Amino acid sequence: MNEALSIRGLTRTFPGFRLDGLDLTLPKGCIMGLVGENGAGKSTTIKLILGMLRAEAGEISVLGRTGPADSVGKEELGVVLDEVGLPECLNVGQVGKVMAGSYKNWEPETYRRLVERLDIPRDTEFGKLSRGNKMKLGIAVAMSHRAKLLILDEATSGLDPVVRDEVVDMIAEFTRDEDRAVLLSSHIVSDLEKICDYVAFLHKGRLLLCQEKDELLSEYGILRCTPEQADALDPAAVLHRKDTAWGSEAIVRRGAVPDSLTVSPVTIEELFIYMVKEAK
Amino acid sequence: MKGLLLKDYYMTVRYCRSMLLILLVFVGVSFVNPDNRFFTIYPCLLCSMIPITLISYDERSRWSQYSCTMPYTRAQLVGSKYLIGLLIDLTAVCFSLLAEVLRAAVSGGTMPSAGELLSLGEIMMAVSLAAPSLCLPWIIKLGVEKGRLVFYAVLVVIFGGSAAAVNIAPQGLLFSAGSVHLALVAMVMLFAASWALSVAIMNKKEV
């Protein structure tokens, strides 16, 4: 069993939205970034994995167990939801005691160290913490009970750039143990670009792409050329094209572009934006 | 479930301090008005609503969702609310009975017998079990905002029912030892049925 998470044909319909036949595979030791605009289906996917919502069709396997995570499987999951969800009147110490009574593998020393590293105020009630500190406390809890799969829903949003960088480093450190994996949803694509091994693009409930990040970046590039040069390209090589007064700009498959043309590297964010525009 | 109970304990201490004050005021008033049992029983009814207050704070902080990501079954999530309610009810009843004994001792009146205290305790417990038994399944199904309407309806039913029972029942029957035992047994059964129903509702619920 080399997969931390496997999803096949996951489907769920709500009024005005349908998550349509989602397929994802997250190998152990890897970080997958789930990218999508608001309402793309990221949180729905996470809730289906956690059994908070029921799927109409499809299969889920979490850490080798078939079906959405159950109470036993959740011992091995560290979850941070976009609103965190810890009780507002509890301080850091009380949260630690509640979690010690909840998780069999709770590690008070790891929790203390993470709280210190993330500089979270110890005596302030959770409800009075800033959004950034709330998120940090959620992350500290998720990483303090020997979880094998971290599921983070927009966990880096609301953090200032310095703390975000620290959290991104912590997430990357987490997967040094090859038995662990991370599913990280965000619309801040730059964070995902830094740490993810796999990237999945979701748009309006459909999976546009799920691929290894490095493969993706080496497969695609940006071509800036004249409109005539762009016209001469094989249409299958062009993912998206934009003509301006200064020339043409296209996201292209590097392998299908003549060597005479210079293709610049593309960022995940550019690729995502172009793919979403193309899908509209 | 230890973590859930501890969390509810912290929340009860933080949010329900005013209940303790109300309890003390009512006990104080009962010293002045020893014939009216309302001042002894009403605080028990108030305390029995604490689990609903806790669920309301859980919803506000999104704990209701977060707890579903933790290693608990849905039955445990529901059970913790019934259990914390039961512990609070028992504490409130013991406190009220102690106040009853103190009142007799301070006023120099006749000390209540063990049987009288038992009957009074049974009435208090029956009243304490009634409200959460009737409210919790609705609140778990509909959420606190909509469930609150049920809460008010339940209060009307309890007070209306109690008043009607006092007026209709033959003298001596209502507070006879047999009818009090029966009332408590009925309420315990209602509580158990409500618990099972809430678990069934929670198992089907999407969060």
- The 10s digit of each residue's pLDDT in A200-224 is 999 999 999 899 999 999 999 999 9
B170 CB contacts (<8 Å, ≥6 apart)?
Answer: none
User: Contacts of residue B205 in chain A, CB cutoff 8 Å?
Assistant: none
Q: What's B109's DSSP letter? A: -
Strands A247-253 and A238-244: antiparallel
Coil, helix or strand at residue B64: helix
Q: Is pLDDT above 70 for A115?
A: yes
Report the residue from B64, B67, B71 with minimal CB separation from A75. Answer: B71
**Closest-CA distance of chain A to residue B75, Å:** 11
Does B34 score more than 80 pLDDT?
no
Which residues does chain B have within 8 Å of residue A127's beta carbon, measured at their own beta carbons?
A: 61
Size of interface A-B (CB pairs under 8 A): 89
> Within a 10 A sphere around the Cβ of B167, how many other Cβ atoms?
8
Q: How far apart are the first and last CA of chain B?
A: 20
Banded model confidence at residue B155, pLDDT cuts 50, 70, 90: confident
Element (H, E) at B194: helix B177-204
Residue B171: band (very low, low, confident or very high) from pLDDT cuts 50, 70, 90: low
Please give the model's pTM, rounded to 2 decimal places: 0.88
Quick check: B172 pLDDT over 70? Answer: no
Is the predicted pLDDT of residue A264 greater than 80, yes or no?
Answer: yes
Name the pairing type of β-strands A31-35 and A198-203. Answer: parallel
Distance CA(A196)–CA(A193), nearest Å, equals: 6
Q: Is the CB of residue B111 less than 8 Å from the CB of residue B101? A: yes
In this structure, are strands A149-153 and A181-186 parallel, antiparallel, or unpaired? parallel
Contacts of A97 in chain B (CB under 8 A): 6
Task: Look at residue A160 in the predicted model and tell me its pLDDT.
Answer: 84
Highest mean pLDDT: which range of A43-57, A164-178, B97-111: A43-57
What would the mean pLDDT of B70-82 be, rounded to a whole number? 96
Closest by CA to A86, choosing from A126, A118, A129, A120, is: A126
Q: How confident is the model at residue A1 (pLDDT cuts 50, 70, 90)?
A: low
Q: How far is B61 from chain A (nearest CA, A)?
A: 5
Residue with tokens 């990040």: A213
A87/B57 Cβ within 8 A: yes
DSSP β-ladder status, A220-225 and A247-253: antiparallel
Name which of A241, A216, A212 is nearest A229 in CA terms. Answer: A241
The helix/strand/coil state of B37 is: coil
Judging contacts by C-beta atoms under 8 Å, the chain B residues touching residue A153 are none
Asked if residue A110 has pLDDT above 90, the reply is yes
Q: Does B67 touch chain A (CB under 8 A)?
A: yes
Percent of chain B at pLDDT > 70 equals 94
Question: Is A101 in Cβ contact with B2 (below 8 Å)?
Answer: yes
Strand order, beta sheet including A238-244 = A238-244, A247-253, A220-225, A263-265
Residue matched to tokens 């406390």:
A137
Neighbours of B159 (CB within 10 A): 13
Q: DSSP secondary structure string, A24-74?
A: EEEETT-EEEEE--TTSSHHHHHHHHTTSS--SEEEEEETTEEBS--TTGG
Average pLDDT in chain B: 87
What is the C-alpha separation between B180 and A185, in angstroms, rounded? 58
The model's confidence at residue B166, banded by pLDDT at 50, 70 and 90, is: low
Asked if B71 lies within 8 A of A102 by C-beta distance, the reply is: yes
Instruction: Give the pLDDT mean for B132-145.
Output: 91
Residue B174 has pLDDT above 60, yes or no: no
Q: What percentage of chain A carries pLDDT values higher than 70? A: 99
Q: Do A87 and B207 touch (CB under 8 A)?
A: no
**pLDDT band at residue A256 using 50, 70 and 90 as cut-offs:** confident
Residue A277 or residue B165, greater confidence: A277
The owner of tokens 């445990």 is B76
- Angstrom distance (rounded) from CA A96 to CA A90: 10
Residue B169: pLDDT band with limits 50, 70, 90: low
